[in-house]
């Protein structure tokens, strides 16, 4: 009846995961209880859970990402503290737990931290920047989000029911085959990633269609903000790369569940094929994450330098070059498996070529600041921190792309430092820059600058300490994924890196405090005009938070930097654009389809992990019925009357006009 | 006192003790210097631009519409391009010259060592001498060594940091690696590819000794009497770690090839242990 | 040229060209031109375009299975090779059924745009029968192979064969489920524009599966029988 699931799956004999799981469960139950008792449930259900509004879904993606980033960071704390005490000793985490922790850390940070953060920012900002009302498929968007959340939930369930993978964040066969990993850990990995992977793919389809087919009148490709370009490249990569991951993991599932021989190294199976297929997805994945972050930096640096992005077309070219090149480098992940000089040489060169467009981007951001009027806000600090630290990550990447260097650095702490330098500098700093930059647009008030800057300085200092040590440890020959070690000269650097994690933790606390402080002081941080940063693209042309329909009338675009042009004209003429002729607007109705689908997919995933076949079948049936019910509904849209649209727009216009006159008087004085 | 001294910087890859490692460290240093020449000015420029053009600096000239310069773009594209062309040439030449399968320059005939990664042990077979050792690699100094490597179950990666080049060991496949120790000395090797719970203990001493000492060691091993055949191999391949190195005086012929062809049964591998195969055992 | 549009259409653009489902019944089309300069495309275009992109991603997934089949083709171990297990006459019938179903599916699309209910339902029903015949033949093939101890766990070649062909079969089966759903929807709700769009997506899906089958047929069965 319950497959492999018995009471012994719950680790009653192990205090660490049990306590951790209990604390998480208590927090979750507490929040749910508070929501229910305080009567917020109907509001949450109506306005958030069933919402198909791209802004709400984007915000939920970012909230999920923030929670999971904290979860992943606690894994990092566990690993650093284990290393701090595991010199010539076993430490406090036995290998079977330590192995789960580093696997979970990677999986959570990449799939449930970085990915949702970037997708969330794209979801939120892209339709606004394009000057349209929503993404191409609003309900599908909700399905995508909830599938991602479903995957995240399964990973967290593994904390208390069963185990997580003990294979690292990429489950390389033969270790991940059922012979060598008979537990449910790898199955948790596989189903969580498959489910969230479907969500990611659908979100990629959605955003590509949005960018290619839905733009405000006059918004030709070369008038799109840079963030839309990077979002386009990133989502095209999702469409081209995620199906490879789905297929690869499906093969591993077949190997594990039905005794197929794809990667078994017996009966003709070939484990090398997994490496090729996995990294054919894995390397583009790096750019799926990094490209939107580059887009955020482009927006932030240009806005806070008070200048257009330097060499916009060159940047577009660089973005698309990275998009194409990212598919030609996967083999550098296994230079050390003996592919031979020619193959290694070719892939070394293709890998290095990616550094060219990336370098161009760095220089173009540099010249965006040149001749500008730079405002050192939190978002700008994150961007500057990125530029200063990321060049090191890029340079070590080129270093690792040189096969002879890789022969001594592969799998070392140097490699760990390199990819954290790329992921943290680009993706995490980009996420925080975007979070600070668009927060007032999403919620109508700015985030506190003092706490934001504190979070930045602690964050970047801790980051430099930790990964500076890691680089050096790599040169000292330390390899990754060791649960304990007995080499004396590693010890001091490991202890310093543990201190660095403490500093990063302070940064994280500042980040949380910033949010709390900002919510409490929201009235003084209020963004009344909708344009708190003197922005240049269309998202700043509407109120903060934007009305559900985003724009009362779709803006007409006559050049690059659409909103900057509108604003400049308003400043010259000291009056706003003429009021549009208001028309009723039809918007898609909210739908619980996404949430219900994710509920059933969680059931399917859990049932497949534990071999509860009837439950899996029931889940499939439920999901199908949900879709049919969705497809059967008669009313799919509701109408917002023209008078309502006019009211909302006039309110925003009056505050903007006030601000315009205020600025005019200041200039005159 | 001696072990303490040897313990320092045991793994430092920049302080190589063999031609392969030295060449690799050399490339590493050259490439780093080349890139530092670019990234350090960039980092300084970022800070300088941000501070000079800050809003509060009245002396900085604000040019709100300056957004393109063909000359700058030319420089911006050519600097990385030229750097990468140069480094690409280094990479291409290095990938060929330092390919692990390329034999090393030496007057001496290379010593052949067959390596099998077991679950959390390393097995070294010396086919010419007919001896084998576990968790201890003894090689003559200043003699090239040709390793042929495979695995009994899951992947590992063989790496002696001070000698250079690591290489993967994979079941059913053979990789080739050529290394040489310049001088006598005590080194360390380890696995760099995660292979399960006992992975952290997969390190081993590497002793580069004189020719005479090597001959002595072979004799000593031959005299030890134990034979490495399928049965003792199967025993050895069971998951677990070893407290002290072991050696075998003779090897069953064709054992290594049998392991590669999987006619010798593969090791049971990690896993297996746990509560009903569902989650790991508690306690440490 | 959208630039030389008539004055009337320019007025439309000045209004609200987004028209998310704008028309009397709430499921209609926009009149905007949608070439990047004209504002968002009409919904019909958006839906079909989005579905095309999804199909492209699906084809990437098939490409991965094709690639793994190509790699593992020689990994027959001690099991049978391709020519020993392929029954080309059965495959010919399967191919004929599927190609014919694409034709009837096209007929259904024509009936859809002509809003002819009986013709549409008939054509869809025939498509279903042909598709179901294909799936049944494939299931029989798989059953026979497993009976002859040539199941997917015998060798890597058979694993990749079963996965590639089975993945296509699974797609066809899901397509059949979708087909029935669309027949029921059109019957119950008539030719409402959102249902019509959905049905056209189904047709795209069905034809795309035909294209994939041509690949499977050529790469797996024809080339496999030669060697």
Query: How is A527-579 classified by DSSP, letter by letter?
Result: -SSS-TT---SGGGGS-SSPPTTS-SSPPP--SSSHHHHHHHHHHHHTSPPPP
Q: Is B134 a domain residue? A: yes
Three-state secondary structure string covering A418-430: HHHHHHHHHHHHH
CA-based nearest distance A210→chain B, Å: 28
Q: Are residues B60 and B151 in the same domain?
A: no
pLDDT for C37 equals: 62
Phi, psi of B119 (to 5 degrees): -75, 95
Structure tokens that stand for A156 in this block: 């967290």
Residue B40: CATH number of its domain: 1.10.287.90
Q: Are residues B191 and B84 in the same domain?
A: no
Whether the per-residue pLDDT at B245 is higher than 60: the answer is yes
Closest listed residue to residue A241, CA positions, set C167, C54, C60: C60
- List chains adjacent to chain B, taking adjacency as at least 3 C-beta pairs closer than 8 Å: A
Structure tokens that stand for B2 in this block: 């001696």
Measure the CA–CA gap between B191 and A480, rounded to whole angstroms: 10
Q: Is B3 a domain residue? A: no
Nearest C-alpha in A relative to B148: A338
Ramachandran category for residue B240: left, alpha or beta (phi over 0 → left; psi -120 to 50 → alpha) = left
Each residue of B33-75: pLDDT tens digit? 999 999 999 999 999 999 999 999 999 999 998 999 999 999 9
Q: Which of residues 581-620 of A touch C (CB under 8 A)?
A: 581, 583, 585-588
CA-based nearest distance C53→chain A, Å: 6
Measure the CA–CA gap between A512 and C28, rounded to whole angstroms: 46
Q: Select from C39, C41, C161 the residue whose CB has the most chain A CBs within 10 Å, as the one to mutate to test that interface.
A: C39
- List chains adjacent to chain C, taking adjacency as at least 3 C-beta pairs closer than 8 Å: A
- Calculate ∠ Cα B157-B163-B167, nearest 5°: 20
Model confidence at B6, pLDDT cuts 50, 70, 90, reads very low
Q: Are residues B202 and B141 in the same domain?
A: yes
Q: Select from C3, C21, C25, C37 the residue whose CB has the most chain A CBs within 10 Å, as the one to mutate to test that interface.
A: C37
pLDDT for B272 equals: 55
Sheet holding B203-209, edge to edge: B137-140, B203-209, B185-191, B156-160, B164-169
Peptide bond before B106: cis, by omega within 30 degrees of 0? no
Q: Are residues B84 and B117 in the same domain?
A: no
Q: Is B2 a domain residue? A: no
Q: Mean pLDDT, chain A, as a whole number?
A: 94
User: Chain A to chain B, count of Cβ pairs less than 8 Å apart?
Assistant: 352
Each residue of B108-126: pLDDT tens digit? 999 999 999 998 999 999 9
Three-state secondary structure string covering chain B: CHHHHHHCCCCCCCCCCCHHHHHHHHHHHHHHHHHHHHHHHHHHHHHHHHHHCECCCCCCCCCCCCCCCHHHHHHHHHHHHHHHHHHHHHHHHHHHHCCCCCCCCCCCCCEEEEEEEECCEEEEEECCCCEEEECCEEEECCCCEEEEEEECCCCEEEEECCCEEEEEECCCCCEEEEECCCCCEEEEEEECCCCCCCHHHCEEEEEEECHHHHHHHHHHHHHCCCEECHHHHHHHCCCCCCCCCEEECEECCCHHHHHHHCCCCCCCCCCCCCECCCECCCCC
Q: Are residues B49 and B135 in the same domain?
A: no
Q: Are residues B79 and B152 in the same domain?
A: no
pLDDT for A161 equals: 87
| Percentage with pLDDT > 70 across chain A | 100
DSSP category for residue A87: B
* CA C225 to each of CA A49, A527, C137, C213, C214: distance values in angstroms, whole numbers, following the listed order: 54, 70, 19, 16, 15
pLDDT for C23 equals: 37
Q: Is B272 a domain residue? A: no
* Domain count along chain B: 2
For residue A239, which residues of chain C lie inside 8 Å, CB to CB?
Answer: 53, 56-57, 60
Three-state secondary structure string covering A222-268: HHCCHHHHHHHHHHHHHHHHHHHHHHHHHHHHHHHHHCCCCCCCCCC
* CA C102 to each of CA B170, C108, C126, C211: distance values in angstroms, whole numbers, following the listed order: 47, 10, 10, 10
Range of the domain at A320: 306-526
**Mean pLDDT per segment of 10 residues, for chain C of length 227 residues?**
39 37 36 57 93 97 96 91 90 96 97 95 98 97 95 95 97 97 95 93 97 95 82
For residue C58, which residues of chain A lie inside 8 Å, CB to CB?
Answer: 243
Each residue of B169-202: pLDDT tens digit? 999 999 999 999 999 999 999 999 999 989 999 9
A349 vs B36, B79, B91: nearest CB: B91
Q: Is C65 within 8 Å of A247 when comparing Cβ atoms?
A: yes
B2-26: average pLDDT: 76
B68 vs A310, A355, A356: nearest CB: A310
Measure the CA–CA gap between C50 and C32, rounded to whole angstroms: 18
Closest listed residue to residue C127, CA positions, set C142, C140, C109, C141: C109
Whether the per-residue pLDDT at B13 is higher than 80: the answer is yes
Range of the domain at B28: 19-97
CA-based nearest distance A416→chain C, Å: 29
Phi, psi of B163 (to 5 degrees): -95, -20
Phi, psi of B265 (to 5 degrees): -60, 140
Each residue of A208-235: pLDDT tens digit? 999 999 999 989 899 999 999 999 999 9
Per DSSP bridges, beta strands B246-248 and B185-191 are: unpaired
For residue C34, which residues of chain A lie inside 8 Å, CB to CB?
Answer: 213
Q: Is B276 a domain residue? A: no
Q: Evaluate whether B148 touches B112 at the Cβ level (below 8 Å).
A: yes
Domain boundaries, chain C: 1-41, 43-226
Instruction: Residue B44: count other Cβ atoms within 10 Å of its Cβ.
Output: 11
B220-226: average pLDDT: 87
Q: Is B179 a domain residue? A: yes
Q: Are residues B148 and B235 in the same domain?
A: yes
Question: Of B73, B97, B121, which one is at a domain's C-terminal end?
Answer: B97
Q: Is B186 a domain residue? A: yes
Instruction: Residue B30: count other Cβ atoms within 10 Å of its Cβ.
Output: 14
| Secondary-structure percent of chain C, ordered helix, strand, coil, rounded to 5 | 75, 0, 25
Q: Is B72 a domain residue? A: yes
Measure the CA–CA gap between A44 and A22, rounded to whole angstroms: 25
Q: Are residues B134 and B254 in the same domain?
A: yes
Each residue of B133-164: pLDDT tens digit? 999 999 999 999 999 999 999 999 999 999 99
Q: Evaluate whether C120 touches C111 at the Cβ level (below 8 Å).
A: yes
Whether the per-residue pLDDT at B281 is higher than 60: the answer is no
Q: Which H or E run includes A121? A: helix A115-130
Q: Are residues B127 and B165 in the same domain?
A: yes
pLDDT for B280 equals: 53
Q: Is B88 within 8 Å of A340 when comparing Cβ atoms?
A: no
For residue A277, which residues of chain C lie inside 8 Å, CB to CB?
Answer: 64, 67-68
Instruction: Residue A321: count other Cβ atoms within 10 Å of its Cβ.
Output: 17
Q: Is B282 within 8 Å of A14 when comparing Cβ atoms?
A: yes
A248 touches chain C (CB under 8 A): yes
Measure the CA–CA gap between A522 and C144, rounded to whole angstroms: 70
Per DSSP bridges, beta strands B111-118 and B156-160 are: unpaired
Q: Evaluate whether B84 touches A352 at the Cβ level (below 8 Å).
A: yes
Asked whether C and A share 3 or more beta-carbon pairs under 8 angstroms, the answer is yes
pLDDT for A2 equals: 81
Residue A352: CATH number of its domain: 1.20.210.10
pLDDT for C19 equals: 38
- Calculate ∠ Cα A579-A583-A585, nearest 5°: 120
- Asked if the C43-226 domain carries CATH number 1.20.120.80, the reply is yes
Q: Are residues B47 and B164 in the same domain?
A: no
Q: Are residues B64 and B155 in the same domain?
A: no
For residue A284, which residues of chain C lie inside 8 Å, CB to CB?
Answer: none
DSSP category for residue A581: -
Segments of chain A scoring below 70 in pLDDT: none
C16 vs A202, A554, A637: nearest CB: A554
pLDDT for C15 equals: 36
Closest listed residue to residue A56, CA positions, set A550, A455, A512, A458: A550
* Domain count along chain A: 1
Q: Are residues B115 and B206 in the same domain?
A: yes
Measure the CA–CA gap between B123 and B234, rounded to whole angstroms: 12
Instruction: Residue C30: count other Cβ atoms within 10 Å of its Cβ.
Output: 24
Q: Is C20 within 8 Å of A587 when comparing Cβ atoms?
A: yes
Model confidence at B283, pLDDT cuts 50, 70, 90, reads very low
Residue B123: CATH number of its domain: 2.60.40.420
Contacts of C18 (CB under 8 A, 6+ apart): A132, A133, A554, A585, C30, C32, C39, C40
Model confidence at B7, pLDDT cuts 50, 70, 90, reads very low
Tracing tokens 């649960």 back to the chain, one arrives at A483
């Amino acid at each position: 009846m319950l497959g492999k699931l018995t009471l012994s799956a719950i680790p009653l004999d192990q205090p660490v995961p049990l306590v951790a799981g209990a604390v998480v469960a208590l927090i979750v139950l507490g929040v749910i209880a508070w929501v229910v008792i305080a009567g917020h449930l109907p509001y949450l259900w109506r306005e958030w859970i069933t919402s198909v509004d791209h802004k709400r879904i984007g915000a939920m993606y970012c909230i999920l990402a923030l929670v999971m980033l904290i979860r992943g960071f606690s894994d990092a704390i566990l690993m650093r503290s284990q290393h701090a005490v595991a010199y010539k000793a076993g430490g406090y985490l036995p290998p079977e737990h330590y192995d789960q922790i580093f696997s979970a850390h990677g999986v959570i940070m990449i799939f449930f931290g970085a990915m949702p953060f970037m997708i969330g920012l794209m979801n939120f900002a892209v339709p606004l920047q394009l000057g349209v009302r929503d993404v191409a498929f609003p309900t599908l968007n909700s399905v995508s989000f909830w599938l991602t959340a479903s995957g995240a939930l399964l990973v967290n369930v593994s904390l208390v029911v069963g185990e997580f993978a003990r294979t690292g964040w990429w489950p390389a066969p033969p270790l991940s085959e059922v012979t060598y990993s008979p537990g449910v850990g790898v199955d948790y990995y596989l189903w969580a990633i498959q489910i969230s992977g479907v969500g990611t793919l659908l979100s990629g389809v959605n955003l590509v269609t949005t960018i290619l087919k839905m733009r405000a009148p006059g918004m030709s490709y070369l008038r799109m903000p840079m963030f839309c370009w990077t979002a386009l490249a990133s989502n095209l990569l999702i469409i081209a790369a995620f199906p490879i991951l789905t297929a690869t993991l499906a093969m591993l599932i077949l190997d594990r569940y039905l005794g197929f021989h794809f990667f078994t190294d017996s009966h003709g199976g070939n484990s090398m094929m997994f490496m090729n297929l996995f990294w054919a997805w894995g390397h583009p994945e790096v750019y799926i994450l990094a490209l939107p972050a580059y887009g955020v930096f482009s927006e932030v640096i240009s806005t806070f330098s008070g200048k257009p992005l330097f060499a916009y077309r060159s940047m577009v070219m660089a973005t698309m070059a990275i998009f194409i090149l990212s598919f030609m480098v996967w083999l550098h992940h296994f230079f050390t498996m003996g592919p031979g000089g020619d193959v290694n040489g070719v892939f070394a060169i293709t890998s290095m070529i990616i550094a060219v467009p990336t370098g161009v981007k760095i220089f173009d951001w540099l010249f965006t600041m040149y001749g500008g009027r730079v405002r050192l806000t939190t978002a700008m600090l994150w961007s500057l921190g990125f530029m200063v630290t990321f060049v090191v990550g890029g340079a070590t990447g080129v270093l690792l792309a040189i096969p002879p260097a890789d022969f001594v650095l592969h799998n070392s702490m140097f490699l760990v430092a390199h990819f954290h330098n790329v992921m943290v500098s680009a993706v995490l700093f980009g996420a925080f820059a975007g979070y600070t930059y668009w927060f007032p647009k999403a919620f109508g008030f700015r985030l506190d600058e003092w706490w934001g800057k504190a979070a930045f300085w602690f964050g970047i200092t801790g980051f430099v300490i930790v990964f500076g040590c890691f680089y050096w440890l790599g040169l000292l020959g330390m390899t990754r994924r060791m649960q304990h070690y007995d080499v004396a000269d590693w010890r001091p650097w490991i202890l310093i890196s543990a201190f660095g994690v403490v500093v990063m933790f302070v940064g994280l606390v500042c980040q949380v405090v910033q949010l709390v402080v900002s919510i409490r002081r929201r009235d003084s941080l209020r963004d009344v005009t909708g344009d708190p940063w003197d922005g240049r693209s269309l998202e700043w042309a509407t109120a903060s938070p934007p009305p559900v329909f985003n724009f009362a009338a779709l803006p007409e675009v006559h050049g690059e930097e659409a909103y900057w042009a509108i604003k400049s004209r308003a400043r010259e003429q000291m009056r706003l654009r003429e009021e549009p002729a208001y028309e009723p607007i039809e918007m898609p109705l909210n739908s619980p389809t996404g949430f219900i689908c994710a509920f059933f997919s969680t059931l399917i995933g859990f049932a497949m992990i534990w071999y509860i076949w009837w439950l899996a079948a029931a889940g499939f049936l439920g999901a199908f019925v949900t879709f049919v019910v969705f497809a059967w509904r008669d009313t799919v849209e509701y109408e917002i009357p023209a008078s309502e649209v006019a009211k909302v727009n006039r309110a925003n216009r009056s505050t903007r006009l006030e601000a315009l006159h205020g600025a005019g008087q200041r200039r005159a004085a | 006192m001696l072990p303490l001294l040897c313990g320092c910087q045991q793994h430092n890859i920049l302080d190589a003790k063999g031609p392969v490692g030295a060449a690799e460290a050399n490339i590493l240093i050259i490439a780093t210097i080349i890139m530092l020449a670019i990234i350090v000015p960039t980092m300084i420029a970022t800070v300088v631009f941000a501070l000079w053009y800050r809003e509060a600096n009245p002396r900085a000239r604000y040019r709100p519409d300056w957004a393109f310069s063909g000359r700058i773009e030319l420089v911006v594209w050519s600097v990385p391009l030229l750097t990468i062309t140069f480094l690409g040439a280094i990479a291409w030449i290095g990938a060929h010259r330092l390919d692990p399968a390329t034999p090393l320059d030496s007057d001496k005939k290379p010593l052949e060592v067959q390596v099998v990664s077991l679950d959390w042990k390393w097995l070294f077979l010396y086919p010419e001498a007919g001896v084998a050792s576990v968790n201890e690699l003894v090689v003559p100094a200043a003699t090239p060594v040709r390793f042929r490597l495979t695995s009994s179950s899951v992947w590992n990666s063989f790496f002696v940091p001070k000698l250079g080049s690591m290489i993967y060991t994979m079941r059913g496949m053979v990789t080739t690696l050529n290394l040489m120790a310049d001088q006598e000395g005590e080194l360390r090797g380890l696995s760099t590819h995660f292979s399960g719970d006992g992975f952290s203990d997969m390190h081993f001493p590497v002793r580069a000794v004189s020719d005479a000492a090597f001959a002595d060691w072979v004799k000593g091993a031959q005299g030890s009497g134990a034979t490495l055949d399928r049965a003792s191999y199967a025993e050895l391949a069971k998951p677990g770690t070893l407290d002290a190195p072991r050696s075998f005086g003779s090897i069953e012929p064709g054992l290594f090839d049998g392991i590669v062809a999987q006619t010798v049964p593969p090791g049971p591998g990690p896993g297996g242990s746990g509560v009903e195969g569902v989650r790991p055992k508690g306690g440490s | 040229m959208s630039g030389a549009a008539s004055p009337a259409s320019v007025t439309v653009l000045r209004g609200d060209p987004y028209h998310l489902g704008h028309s009397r019944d709430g499921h209609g089309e926009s009149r905007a031109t949608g070439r990047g300069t004209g504002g968002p495309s009409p919904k019909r275009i958006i839906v079909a375009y989005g579905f095309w992109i999804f199909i492209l991603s699906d084809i990437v997934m098939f490409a991965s299975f094709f690639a793994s089949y190509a790699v593992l083709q020689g990994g027959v171990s001690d099991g049978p090779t391709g020519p020993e297990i392929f029954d080309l006459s059965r495959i010919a019938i399967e191919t004929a059924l599927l190609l014919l179903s694409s034709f009837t599916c096209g007929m259904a699309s024509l009936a859809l745009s002509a809003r002819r209910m009986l013709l549409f339902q008939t054509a869809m029903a025939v498509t279903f029968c042909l598709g179901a015949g294909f799936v049944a033949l494939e299931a029989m093939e798989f059953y026979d192979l497993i009976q002859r101890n040539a199941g997917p766990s015998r060798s890597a070649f058979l694993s990749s064969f079963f996965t590639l062909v089975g993945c296509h079969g699974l797609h066809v089966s899901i397509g059949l489920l979708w087909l029935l759903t669309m027949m029921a929807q059109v019957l119950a709700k008539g030719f409402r524009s959102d249902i019509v769009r959905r049905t056209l997506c189904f047709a795209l899906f069905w034809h795309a599966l035909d294209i994939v089958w041509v690949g499977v047929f050529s790469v797996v069965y024809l080339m496999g029988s030669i060697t």
